[in-house]
Structure 1
Amino acid sequence: MSRHCQLTGRVPGFGRAISHSHVRIPRRFDPNIQRRRVYVPSLGRTVRLRLSAKGLKLLDRIGPDAAVARMRARGEKV
């Protein structure tokens, strides 16, 4: 499973870790992905979502119906 948020579209970032001796090593910055089950009244059922921590806050703010509408607009399957 790829580490991306279904709501915000947040994906891993890439960069370099620099050690004490200043050797640069490639590394990956993964988003904080959480799996949640959310009841969506417009669908009349619960859906499983992979959301980042910021996506969870956004879900609380806009509600599940608007969140599902945004995901479908982006082409995510819900």
Structure 2
Amino acid sequence: MSRRCAVTGAAPSFGNAVSHSHRRTRRRWNPNLQRHRYRVAGERRFVTLTLTAKALRTVDRKGIDRVVAELRARGVRL
């Protein structure tokens, strides 16, 4: 499973961890990914999506049917 949101496309970002003595080592910030299973009424089936917490709110606002249609228009296979 890639660490990428299906709706927003959020991926890990990279930077430096800076210690008290200012030594720098590389680190990464992972997105807050959640696996969520939605029932798509128009297709009479369930779809499991890997989403960030922000994308979960987007699906609540737009509705799962509209989000699935946008994903299909982008060429995402569900």
Matched, 1:3 2:18: no
The answer for unaligned runs of 5 or more in structure 1 is: none
The equivalent of 1:46 in structure 2 is 46
CA distance in 1, matches of 2:17, 2:50: 27
Give the secondary-structure state (helix, strand or coil) at the position aligned to 1:8.
coil
Matched, 1:35 2:32: no
CA distance in 2, matches of 1:34, 1:50: 6
CA distance in 1, matches of 2:18, 2:75: 37
The answer for unaligned runs of 5 or more in structure 2 is: none
- TM-score normalised to structure 1 length: 0.93
- TM-score normalised to structure 2 length: 0.93
CA distance in 2, matches of 1:12, 1:73: 25
Give the secondary-structure state (helix, strand or coil) at the position aligned to 1:27.
strand
Map of 1:14-33 to 2, 5 A cutoff?
A: 14-33=14-33
The equivalent of 2:69 in structure 1 is 69
Q: Give percent identity, aligned residues only.
A: 51
Give the secondary-structure state (helix, strand or coil) at the position aligned to 2:59.
helix
Runs of 4+ in 1 over 2 A off after TM superposition: none
Give the secondary-structure state (helix, strand or coil) at the position aligned to 2:50.
strand
One-letter amino acid of the structure 2 residue matched with residue 12 of structure 1: P
